[in-house]
């Protein structure tokens, strides 16, 4: 089985295992996109990626934590199947770390996006408890500055932390939800903190109550 067929098969398995119910508040324009979401489980990027229409999946690259995905079969899946961009954990959310390292990481991600690929990122930089969304790291803002024409689509992921709780290896049957929101864009006159607050608010506003 080639990598494209394997990717499609794994997308089907991910949707089946997680029972993901997908809602689009608005269909994004057919252009380069950064999908950004809350982060609660190692299943997050796989399930969000699997929830995209096939035409989007084929040109969407997840940004994933290198230390988790770089070994053995995980690396094969991340790099060869999902075409992920692996970055150090401190930079997983394009995080506020050593400024020189952060800048180089963002530049590399922007370079690997080129003019064709979209991204999936988790701006919190680490997994949360599924109840609250942590403050976003600054890298989302800087990436948007590097790619000012790219649309930014928020997504809220619910219940994946219950399907694959932290420290567990086998999924537990549960219904998950992924809600995609209205695209946003960075405003040239907007401060970093104002933009990050607005982006976080766009994610939090998608939570189903």
Give mean pLDDT, residues 2-9.
70
Predicted pLDDT of residue 149 = 86
Task: Summarize the confidence of residues 84-101 as an average pLDDT.
Answer: 65
83 vs 178: CA distance, rounded Å: 21
Whether the pLDDT of residue 208 is over 80: the answer is no
What is the predicted pLDDT for the residue at 203? 95
Nearest to 21 by CA among 55, 48, 54, 43: 48
Q: How far apart are CA 199 and CA 209, in angstroms?
A: 20
User: Own/partner pairs for 52-57, CB < 8 Å, 24+ apart?
Assistant: 54/8, 54/11, 56/118, 57/7, 57/11
Global pTM value: 0.84
Residue 203 buriedness (CB in 10 A; 0-12 / 13-18 / 19+): buried
- Per the prediction, the chain carries an average pLDDT of 80
Candidate from 8-12, 53-57, 111-115 with smallest mean pLDDT: 8-12
The helix (run of H) or strand (run of E) holding residue 54 is helix 54-57
Q: What's the rounded Cα separation, in Å, for the pair 32 and 118?
A: 5
Q: Looking at the predicted structure, is the pLDDT value of residue 186 above 70?
A: yes
Q: What is the distance between the alpha carbons of residues 91 and 3, in angstroms, rounded to a whole number? A: 27
pLDDT at residue 54, as a whole number: 82
Name the residue among 203, 199, 207, 152 with its Cα closest to residue 177: 207
Higher pLDDT, 69 or 55: 55
The pLDDT value given to residue 65: 81
* Beta carbons of 64 and 49 less than 8 angstroms apart: no
User: Of 46-50, 51-55, 201-205, which one has max mean pLDDT?
Assistant: 201-205
The residue to which tokens 């993901």 are assigned: 20
Average pLDDT over residues 19-23: 79
**What's the pLDDT tens digit per position in 110-143?**
999 999 999 999 998 776 565 688 899 888 999 9
Q: Please give the pLDDT value at position 170.
A: 47
Determine the 3-state secondary structure of 179 from DSSP.
Answer: strand
């Amino acid at each position: 089985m080639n990598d494209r067929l394997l990717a499609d098969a794994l997308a089907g398995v991910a949707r089946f295992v997680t029972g993901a119910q997908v809602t689009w508040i608005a269909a994004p324009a057919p252009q380069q996109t950064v999908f950004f979401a809350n982060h609660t489980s190692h299943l997050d990027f796989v399930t969000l990626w699997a929830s995209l229409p096939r035409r989007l999946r084929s040109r969407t690259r997840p940004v994933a934590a290198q230390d988790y995905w770089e070994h053995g079969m995980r690396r094969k899946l991340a790099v060869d199947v999902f075409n992920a961009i692996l970055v150090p954990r401190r930079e997983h959310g394009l995080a506020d770390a050593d400024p020189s390292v952060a800048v180089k990481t963002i530049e590399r991600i922007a370079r690997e996006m080129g003019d064709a690929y979209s991204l999936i990122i988790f701006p919190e930089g680490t997994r949360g408890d599924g109840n609250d969304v942590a403050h976003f790291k600054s890298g989302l803002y800087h990436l948007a500055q590097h790619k000012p024409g790219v649309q930014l689509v928020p997504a809220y992921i619910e219940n994946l932390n219950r399907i694959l709780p932290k420290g567990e290896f086998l999924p537990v049957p549960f219904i998950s939800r992924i809600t995609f929101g209205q695209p946003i864009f960075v405003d040239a006159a907007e401060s970093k903190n104002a933009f990050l607050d607005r982006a976080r608010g766009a994610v939090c506003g998608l939570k189903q109550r």
